[in-house]
Amino acid sequence: MLAQTNDDTMSLPEMIQGVQQWANQNLDTNVASAVSQIDPQAVDQFYRDFQNRMQGDNVVDVAALRTTAQNILPWLELRPETQPFAAWLKSQMDYLDMAEQIRQAVPPPPNPTNPPPKISLNPPPQKERELWVRHESGRPWPPGAKAYVTELKPVFAAQNVPPQLVWVAEVESSFDRRAESPAGAAGLFQLMPDTAKRFGLSLWPRDQRYQAVPSATASAEYFKYLYDRFHDWRLVMAAYNAGEGTIEKLLARHKTRSYDDIAGHLPAETQMYVPRIEAVMMEREGARLEQLAPPPT
C-alpha cells in the first residue's frame, strides 16, 4: 500500500507506465527501448514478493530477488514520481547483498528420496553480527548523512535517547528523506502513517515524516517508549522493525527476554535489520547496542 490515500494517487504500475511514456519522448532510443521492456505488473509483483520473503523467517530466501532489484533500481531513479521508491529500494539493497552472501556460505541441503522437514539455514545471531560488521567496515557515510547527523543528534538527546541512534536513518533510508516504501513507510526513519500520528506528526496538508526534525523527534519518542517496554536496545530495534506485538508474542512463546533467543524466529528482514543497525553504529560511533545507556526513568 502506498502512503498517499487521496483519489489522485497513482498505483505503482501506473507510475511505471508514466516513466515509460516519458522515456519514449525524452531519452536516447536505446535507453528508452530498455525502459519500455519493463513490465509494470512484474515490478509490482517484485515488491509483493520482496515483502513476502522479508516477512518469512529464512534469510536465504531473500537472495533470489537480488538480480531483479538491481535491474529495477536504475530506471526507478529516472523520474520524480518513482524516485521515492528508488530511494527506498537503494536502502534495501544491503539486505539482498547480505542474503546472497549467506546463501553462498551455506552448503546446499541433501536431497534424499524422503526429504526431512524444512529447516532454517539462518546463521546464529552472533555470526550474523560478525557478517554485518565486516560488511559495514570502511564504508563511507551516505551522501545525505552530513546534512543531518549534527542537526539530529541533539533531537535524540532532548528525548533522553542515546544520540547514536540517529544512525538508524542510514539503515532505514540512507539519509534520503524522500524515501517511501510500497507499504507506506516514509522519510528518514521510515515511519508508518499510524506510528507517525501516534507520536504527534501531521500527515496532511504537509506530511511531517519528510521533515527531518519532526520525524527524528517522533522516532526518538518511539525508541524511548519501546525501551520502557522491553528494556533492551536489540529488542527495541526488533520491535521498531517488526512491531511490538510480534516481539512480545515471541518472547512469551519462548519464555525469554533475550533478543538472541528469538532471533531465528523473527521475520528475515528483522533478523538482518538488528545486526545491521549495530554494525552501522559500530562503524560510525564505535558502540554496540548493548553498550548504549538506558533512558532515565
Q: What is the pLDDT of residues 141-182, one digit of tens each?
A: 999 999 999 999 999 999 999 999 999 999 999 999 999 998
Judged by average pLDDT, the poorest of 14-23, 84-93, 208-217, 246-255 is 14-23
Mean pLDDT comparison of 1-15, 21-35, 66-80, highest-scoring range:
66-80
Active site (catalytic) residues: 172
Question: How many angstroms separate the Cα of 254 from the Cα of each of 32, 247, 260, 261, 263?
Answer: 54, 11, 11, 8, 11
State the pLDDT at residue 148: 97
Which has the higher per-residue pLDDT, 194 or 109? 194
Confidence grade of residue 32 (pLDDT, cut at 50, 70, 90): very low
What's the 3-state SS for 41-104? HHHHHHHHHHHHHHHCCCHHHHHHHHHHHHHHHHHHCCCCCCHHHHHHHHHHHHHHHHHHHHHH
Burial class (CB in 10 A: 0-12, 13-18, 19+), 118: exposed
Binning pLDDT at 50, 70 and 90, where does residue 41 land?
confident
The pLDDT of residue 38 is 61
SS3 124: coil
Report CA Rg, the chain.
20
**Average pLDDT score over the chain:** 87
Geometric angle at alpha carbon 199, from 281 and 202, rounded to 5°: 110
| pLDDT > 90: percent of the chain | 71
Among 5-14, 86-95, 172-181, 272-281, the least confident range: 5-14
Query: Which grid coordinates are listed for 102?
Result: 549467506
Q: How many CB atoms lie within 10 A of CB 2?
A: 17
Where does the pLDDT of residue 2 fall: very low under 50, low under 70, confident under 90, or very high at 90 and above?
Answer: very low
- pLDDT score of 126 more than 50: yes
Q: In this predicted structure, what is the pLDDT of residue 74?
A: 86
Who wins on pLDDT, 33 or 292?
A: 292
Residue-wise pLDDT tens digits, 192-233: 999 999 999 999 999 999 999 999 999 999 999 999 999 999
Tell whether the model's pLDDT for residue 79 goes beyond 90: no
C-alpha dist (Å) from residue 243 to 182, 209, 249, 250, 290:
17, 18, 10, 11, 20
Domains of the chain: 11-105 (no CATH), 123-297 (1.10.530.10)
The larger pLDDT score, comparing residue 81 to residue 4, is at: 81
Cell of 4: 498517499
Q: Which residue has the higher pLDDT, 31 or 293?
A: 293
**Alpha-carbon 73 to chain mean position:** 16
| Mean pLDDT, rounded, for 268-290 | 97
Taking residues 50-63, report their average pLDDT.
95
pTM of the model: 0.86
| Confidence band of 127 (pLDDT split at 50, 70, 90) | very high
